[in-house]
């Protein structure tokens, strides 16, 4: 078995090279790349300069032309001056040294952008993952036990209705109904936290004490030169303790950072309800039906009939014998879900304006920001490859009969 997993880990290397080489080659030949966009921006700037009265249309045309030297310089800047296979080797060498390059759009290291978005996608993805498995496994077991009953029929109807509605479509509908658009103002329209909290908000009661920075003693102000006179600091700020007691007051408005710990928790929880519901909806039907069918198949096996013949109770047979073997198909999804937890769903993040990992990849692809796109590809492909091995390991843990020898 150990030799099997060693081979699987070694196969990650050629598989990873194949995935990245194919995608890297596509970025070198697809039209509308960063060089073409840079040329387009230059031509638009030249056209606007001409329209402002700098010269005639003839001079504008001359200004819009790109010299060979400038074109070559642009190719060097964006790494298009070498053949694609040589450029790929250089890119792969940097990746092996944990250098994913610099974003063409944000002019920041790709690693910094990814590290900012990872916690957001992990928070939403992990919450949706835990809730979906916590709901779908018990529901699938109960449907298998009550197969053919009214409960099974009614829940099957709900399951297939949920299966027919994509998560991002459900998000649009929920925002229209509950986001304060045409009907009820129950949940925020998007984001992960409130940017403005007014005195009418239900969160106003959780606002902290605060005061203007001008009320700080002069010697303390020198320690925080970035603070402006009219800037409000709350009790979480290290300098707040130096403000005189008569200058402190409970804030009437503020933002997420001005809330107490419990207030911040309520604020984030309220922003999470609709996105997490859409995450769960996408896995709800398939996981429930898979769990039900797997358990029903095992309940018809000889070892189950033997257990009943020995006089074991139904509860013991189902949960001690049949359920463990029924979890084998579910284990397949656990490894694959690893990439979804971290990468997120770019469609759901787009609908709810969640600045996560998935939305970063989508926007980078649209903007032809290839360093970010390839950096996300590196992480996503590695997660997928390791997730497949993780699924095989779970097979061995759940069912001792399975051996990869």
Note whether residue 149 is domain-resident.
yes
pLDDT, one tens digit per residue, over 58-73 is: 444 455 567 777 777 7
- Residues 223-276 pLDDT 10s: 888 888 888 888 888 888 888 888 888 888 888 888 888 999 999 988 889 988
Q: Are residues 246 and 282 in the same domain?
A: no
Residue 13's pLDDT is 92
Q: Which of 43, 61, 96 is the last residue of a domain?
A: 96
Assess whether 326 and 374 both reside in one domain.
Answer: yes
Mean pLDDT of the region 34-41: 75
Q: Is pLDDT of 115 > 50?
A: yes
- For the cut 90, the answer to whether the pLDDT of residue 31 exceeds it is no
Q: What is the mean pLDDT of the chain?
A: 82
CB neighbour burial string for 14-25, b if at least 16 within 10 angstroms, e if fewer:
ebbeebbbebbe
The pLDDT, as a whole number, for residue 57 is 44
Per residue, what are the HEC states of 258-320? HECHHHHHHHHHHHHHHHHHHHHHHHHHHHHHHHHHHHHHHHCCHHHHHHHHCCCCHHHHHHH
Domain membership flag for residue 310: yes
Question: Are residues 285 and 392 both part of a single domain?
Answer: yes
Looking at the structure, do residues 226 and 307 belong to the same domain, yes or no? no
Residue of 351, 363, 364, 356 lying closest to 340 (CA atoms): 356
Are residues 88 and 160 located together in one domain of the fold? no
Residues 225 and 358 in one domain: no
- Looking at the structure, do residues 366 and 283 belong to the same domain, yes or no? yes
User: Cα separation of 393 and 8, whole Å?
Assistant: 11
Can you give the pLDDT at residue 124? 83
CATH number at residue 329: 1.10.3720.10
Task: Starting at the earlier edge strand, list the strands of the sheet with 249-250.
Answer: 232-234, 209-212, 249-250
> What's the rounded mean pLDDT across residues 99-121?
86
pLDDT number for residue 333:
67
CA dist 134 to 19, 84, 341, Å? Answer: 34, 47, 15
Q: Are residues 287 and 377 in the same domain?
A: yes
pLDDT at residue 61 in the model: 45
pLDDT band at 118 (very low <50, low <70, confident <90, very high): confident
pLDDT of residue 51: 53
Total Cβ atoms within 10 A of residue 143: 24
Q: Establish if 262 belongs to a structural domain.
A: no
Residue where a domain terminates, one of 96, 125, 152: 96
- Say how far apart CA 391 and CA 384 lie, in whole Å: 11
Q: Has residue 204 been placed in a domain?
A: no
Task: Tell me the C-alpha distance between 401 and 405, whole Å.
Answer: 12
Q: For residues 276 and 131, is the Cβ–Cβ distance under 8 A?
A: yes
Domain extent for 302: 112-185+276-398
Q: What is the pLDDT of residue 58?
A: 42
Please indicate, yes or no, whether residues 359 and 312 belong to a single structural domain of this protein. Answer: yes
Residue 242 lies in a domain: yes
Considering the domain architecture, whether residues 216 and 293 belong to the same structural domain is answered as no
The number of folded domains in the chain is 3
Question: Does residue 162 sit in the same domain as residue 280?
Answer: yes
Residues 285 and 334 in one domain: yes
Is 160 part of any domain?
yes
Indicate whether 127 belongs to any domain.
yes
Cα 242 to the center of its chain, rounded Å: 41
Instruction: Tell me, yes or no, whether 201 lies in a domain.
Output: no
């Amino acid at each position: 078995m150990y030799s099997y997993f060693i081979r699987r880990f070694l196969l990650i290397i050629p598989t990873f090279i194949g995935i990245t080489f194919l995608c890297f080659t596509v970025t070198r030949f697809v039209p509308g790349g960063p060089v073409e966009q840079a040329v387009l921006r230059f031509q638009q700037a030249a056209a606007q300069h001409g329209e402002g009265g700098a010269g005639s249309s003839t001079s504008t045309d001359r200004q819009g032309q790109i010299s060979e030297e400038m074109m070559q310089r642009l190719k060097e800047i964006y790494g298009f001056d070498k053949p694609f296979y040589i450029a790929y080797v250089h890119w792969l060498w940097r990746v092996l040294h944990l250098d994913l390059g610099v974003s063409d759009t944000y002019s920041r290291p790709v690693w910094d952008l990814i590290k900012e978005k990872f916690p957001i996608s992990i928070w939403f993805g992990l919450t949706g993952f835990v809730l979906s498995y916590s709901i779908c496994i018990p529901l699938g077991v109960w449907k298998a036990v009550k197969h053919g009953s009214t409960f099974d029929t009614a829940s099957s109807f709900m399951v297939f209705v949920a299966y027919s509605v994509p998560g991002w479509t459900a998000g649009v509908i929920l925002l229209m109904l509950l986001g304060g658009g045409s009907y009820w103002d129950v949940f925020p329209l998007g984001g992960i936290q409130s940017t403005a909290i007014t005195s009418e908000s239900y969160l106003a009661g959780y606002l902290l004490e605060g005061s203007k920075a001008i009320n700080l003693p002069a010697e303390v102000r020198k320690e925080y030169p970035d603070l402006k006179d009219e800037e409000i600091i709350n009790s979480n700020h290290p300098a707040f303790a130096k403000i005189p007691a008569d200058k402190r007051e409970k804030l009437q408005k503020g933002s997420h950072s001005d809330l107490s710990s419990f207030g911040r928790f309520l604020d984030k929880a309220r922003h999470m309800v609709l996105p997490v519901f859409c995450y769960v909806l996408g896995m709800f039907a398939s996981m429930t039906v898979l769990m039900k069918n797997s358990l029903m198949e095992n309940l018809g096996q000889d070892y189950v009939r033997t257990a009943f013949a020995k006089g074991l109770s139904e509860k013991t047979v189902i949960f001690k014998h049949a359920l463990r073997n029924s979890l084998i198909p579910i284990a397949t999804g656990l490894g694959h879900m690893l990439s979804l937890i971290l990468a997120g769903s770019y469609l759901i993040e787009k609908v709810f304006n969640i600045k996560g990992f998935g939305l970063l990849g989508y926007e980078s692809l649209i903007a032809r920001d290839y360093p970010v796109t390839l950096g996300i590809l590196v992480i996503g492909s590695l997660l997928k490859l390791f997730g497949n091995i993780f699924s095989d390991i779970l097979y061995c843990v759940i069912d001792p009969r399975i051996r990869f020898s």
